[in-house]
Structure 1
């Protein structure tokens, strides 16, 4: 008896970006698995039960596409509006149609460009993002009182930011030194507080060093690397931790109604950064393996195997607000609600705080001197 041939699953038919009930625009509804009409509220269920998140072999991909990355990332791709059918070219993955405001989604990708394999869908909606912003504004220390009167953000925009995740099995041969403390009893002459002296003993610490070598292993899963320079890197790195357990297989429906940036950090550059992150963890493993009270790591020979990677889109609300005639940017993690942004400071409040601190320090010094006298 022979086994029946495996039948590949049939991909789901993309849902319409136009409401089948009233013809208005639909968009992904944060925190759900549906497209929702912005006019009548009708919903379309996103079917993803049979889909899985796949990863790519880094070595195989690099051998095939690594040399063409710079040219591929600057190549425009065709985006088609899922409402009016208008076509345009862009380096983004998704956006808004300039004719009807409908959802623009890439219809293809240049050869060698990695397609998103996963997406962490929006969980925080627009109203909740504004609420998180207001809470953030109200909690800023040394902020001008007028900042708390800022009513809302301007141009609140939902955007997916690309990130790489890297996996690897690592094995590391190392050489180093182990330091163990030991103590020697010493004597010294000190003042007795009455004009004379006395002898006291104390323990002087020394370190005994010995050579060490060995091997440590560690498996890394989903080391996350920002894959875009379009948003300030320092702010993005503060947006975590992202809830990667909520990632779902990529489907166009999740970016409907939002923009999505294409990565401009190549897989090779991302892998180099990921390995730097891995080495920091490996060094901690080596120091733990060496043991003792102190450790010196002289050399680490790290071998990376079963290296896998994928592209994940992370949800972000990008907003701006105006205060005292100046525009400030703020980011809201649409997965967790965390807020990171620019803010003004009040020179008067800072000056008052410094003055108060100096007064307290002066009072303490005066009390100490008075007690001594």
Structure 2
């Protein structure tokens, strides 16, 4: 497959989307372009991309951890942002992998590094080089694939609501039970339900930096990938659908309990829910990813590229833990020794 390698319309240097400016900025001549201006400069009168600007977009496959990375064919070698091992050419990015929407980065690399330092700097027992400059330079902007779907639930609920009151008058106890008929029928809709289409990152990590504001999603434009990595989905829709249905059934069940609340007791007599999913597609969501290998284990830290929400795992430096424990033990021993001197 061929696609465009975006270049500055003024000087021809490589250009990428800059989250700080919300525009495409050339680092050489400092020119700035909106998406509309950039695309207009690349589309010819026939509505096609000029042939001399077309280049192959290729995938690199990491043989160590299995991640797929997307870059242009001018790159002969790169590193895997999960395990930092060299990666080699694997497949192609083709039609079925073209996303419908994308949420562009709003958090810059510098800001992502600041958020990481704020998060990790509060931890006492991390390895010394965990927050080093060389480590920070490994933070990588990645667009992650996420399956999206429109959901509609037709609800038909009939039940009985009860309110019970108990009181005493003298030696007599009275119980009053009021019964109410509850009827709830209608449609509930969600425009952007979904789940991750990528299983190389722990779902707990992705959930930790969510949610994303879907109002910020725009029609997919290749230009926004310039300067970032982009992942293909490796979890097909057929595998995601049962999980999405299960989550939606739980959510709509919760919504039903909300709209039938207000009674001491609700006794269902009829409870039907017809769930329909339509317009499946996948979007690319922005994240800054930083990985750290320590004692044979890989730790991953992520920043939501739209909101800045952070989440991750921390390695524990055994040396720092033992040093602290030794210091505490020495202080306790000294205190006991001094106390013993006074006792004698």
TM-score range, shorter chain: 0.5 to 0.7
Counterpart Cα distance in 1 of 2:217 and 2:201: 21
> Is residue 2:254 matched to residue 1:278?
no
- Of stretches 18-27 and 129-138 in structure 1, the one that deviates more from structure 2 is 18-27
Which whole-Å deviations, capped at 9, do the CAs of 1:214-264 have from their partners, x for residues lacking one? 434312121242121121111101111212211111011011121211122
1:278 offset after TM fit, Å? 2.4
Say if 1:322 and 1:294 are closer, same or farther in 2 by CA, change over 3 A: same
Do the aligned residues in 2 keep the contact of 1:178 with 1:294 (CA within 8 Å)? yes
Counterpart Cα distance in 2 of 1:307 and 1:326: 40
1:98 offset after TM fit, Å? 5.8
Counterpart Cα distance in 1 of 2:36 and 2:174: 70
Do the aligned residues in 2 keep the contact of 1:34 with 1:43 (CA within 8 Å)? yes
* 1:54 corresponding residue in structure 2: none
* 2:281 corresponding residue in structure 1: 310
Do the aligned residues in 1 keep the contact of 2:168 with 2:174 (CA within 8 Å)? yes
* 2:109 corresponding residue in structure 1: 126
The structure 2 residue matched to 1:95, chosen from 71, 94, 101, is 71
Counterpart Cα distance in 1 of 2:311 and 2:175: 46
* 2:215 corresponding residue in structure 1: 245
Say if 1:320 and 1:36 are closer, same or farther in 2 by CA, change over 3 A: same
> Is residue 2:26 matched to residue 1:37?
yes
With normalisation by structure 2, the TM-score equals 0.66
The structure 2 residue matched to 1:109, chosen from 90, 94, 118, is 94
> Is residue 2:54 matched to residue 1:46?
no
Say if 1:307 and 1:324 are closer, same or farther in 2 by CA, change over 3 A: closer
1:286 offset after TM fit, Å? 2.5
Counterpart Cα distance in 1 of 2:175 and 2:17: 64
1:35 offset after TM fit, Å? 2.9
- Of stretches 216-225 and 34-43 in structure 1, the one that deviates more from structure 2 is 34-43
Do the aligned residues in 2 keep the contact of 1:25 with 1:83 (CA within 8 Å)? no
1:135 offset after TM fit, Å? 0.8
Give the aligned length: 288
Do the aligned residues in 1 keep the contact of 2:166 with 2:175 (CA within 8 Å)? yes
> Is residue 2:148 matched to residue 1:151?
no
Counterpart Cα distance in 2 of 1:26 and 1:236: 29
Counterpart Cα distance in 1 of 2:177 and 2:71: 62
- Report the aligned-residue RMSD: 4.4
> Is residue 2:210 matched to residue 1:269?
no
* 1:236 corresponding residue in structure 2: 206
